[in-house]
Amino acid sequence: MLNPDTVGRTFTSADSITVTQESITAFALAIGEPNVEVAPPTFAITITLDKSQELLQSSGLDWTRVVHGDQKFEIQRPIVAGDVLSCSSTIESARMVAGNEIVTVRSDLHDGDQLVASSWSTLVVRA
Amino acid sequence: MVNPGGARMSTFTVGQEFEPKSYPVTRELLVAYANASGDQNPIHQNEEFAKSVGLPDVIAHGMFTMALAGRYASEIAGSSAAIRDFSARFTKPVVVPAGVTVEVLFSAKVSEVTDATVKLDITATCNGEKVLGMTKALFRN
């Protein structure tokens, strides 16, 4: 069970991530996307899922039981090589449905003051 | 044609459909995706482990299938740089047996057009079954 006090709180990771061309190219290659000038639209997950995992595990959630239920991105501008992204994550909701805990985590990626992309991951913790 | 409003005419219309495309999924691509995305969950690479937790075989990352849908949407939009919003529900896993190339078939229909944006409803199936639900992409018109 998730510690209920953590719902609604925002955690900003201390370190920022510098996006490399190698990381964009490797991601694009794996999915067959020919354009490597910008990151593919789901690239943000390479940063946000990791940060969500850290946040949820530190909040008491059993990650080994987690299944990805749904996913949403809002992209202000494409991620490009050289971006220095900081990630802040908020547990937006946690509820029980038929014995399974369903948690939605929002993660915002900023380059300096500029919001680049937001990601919402809904995770199902199997009972 | 004279366009008094000065607005660019969209080439997209509501109800417009696009040529379906199928993209391959193999164990090798899942390893490449695991390394590129950082998601090293063994259910996406290790058959023995996947079966030990009750799965029929290795399954693709839901985010891998969604990324393929993003590639399809990017092709329709003209560039991956045009995608603004993108969402999907993971309804059924894509099962990837060893030595087999599994195909995921994508199709799409325009559901909304504004001066600024086009909304696509995307369908993703594998062996005739829907693997993603509620898959929508909004891109700059």
Q: Which domain holds residue A20?
A: 4-125
Q: Give the closest residue to A1 by CA, choosing from A85, A102, A78, A89.
A: A102
Q: How confident is the model over A87-107, as pLDDT tens digits?
A: 999 999 999 888 889 999 999
Domain assignment present for B90: yes
Note whether B101 contacts A: Cβ–Cβ < 8 A. no
For residue A33, the SS3 value is coil
| Chain B closest-CA separation from residue A5 CA (Å) | 27
Is A95 exposed, middle or buried, given 0-12, 13-18 or 19+ CB atoms closer than 10 A?
A: exposed
Note whether A35 contacts B: Cβ–Cβ < 8 A. yes
Mean pLDDT in residue range A10-28: 92
Instruction: Kindly report the CATH number assigned to the domain that includes residue B116.
Output: 3.10.129.10
Domain assignment present for B11: no
**Tally of structural domains, chain B:** 1
CA angle A80, A81, A82 (to 5 degrees): 110
Instruction: Please give the pLDDT value at position B7.
Output: 52
Domain assignment present for B109: yes
Check: pTM over 0.95? Answer yes or no: no
* pLDDT band (50, 70, 90) for residue A109: very high
What DSSP designation does B48 have?
A: H
Instruction: Kindly report the CATH number assigned to the domain that includes residue A58.
Output: 3.10.129.10
Closest residue on chain B to A116 (Cα): B84
d(CA B29, CA B66): 14
Note whether B35 contacts A: Cβ–Cβ < 8 A. yes
**Tally of structural domains, chain A:** 1
Tell me if B89 sits within 8 A of B133, measured CB to CB. Answer: yes
Lowest mean pLDDT among A117-121, B1-5, B21-25, B75-79: B1-5
> Between chain A and chain B, how many beta carbons pairs sit less than 8 Å apart?
101
Instruction: Please give the pLDDT value at position A5.
Output: 78
Domain assignment present for B75: yes
Mean pLDDT in residue range A16-25: 97
Q: How confident is the model over A26-85, as pLDDT tens digits?
A: 999 999 999 999 999 999 999 998 888 888 888 888 887 888 999 999 999 999 999 999
Q: Which residue has the tokens 């899942």?
A: B30
| Chain A closest-CA separation from residue B4 CA (Å) | 30
Q: Which domain holds residue B82?
A: 21-25+65-140
pLDDT above 50 (res B1): no
For chain B, list the strands marked E by DSSP: 21-25, 83-90, 102-113, 117-126, 129-140
**Distance, CA of B99 to chain centre:** 23
Domain assignment present for B110: yes
Q: Does the beta-carbon distance from A31 to B64 stay under 8 Å?
A: yes
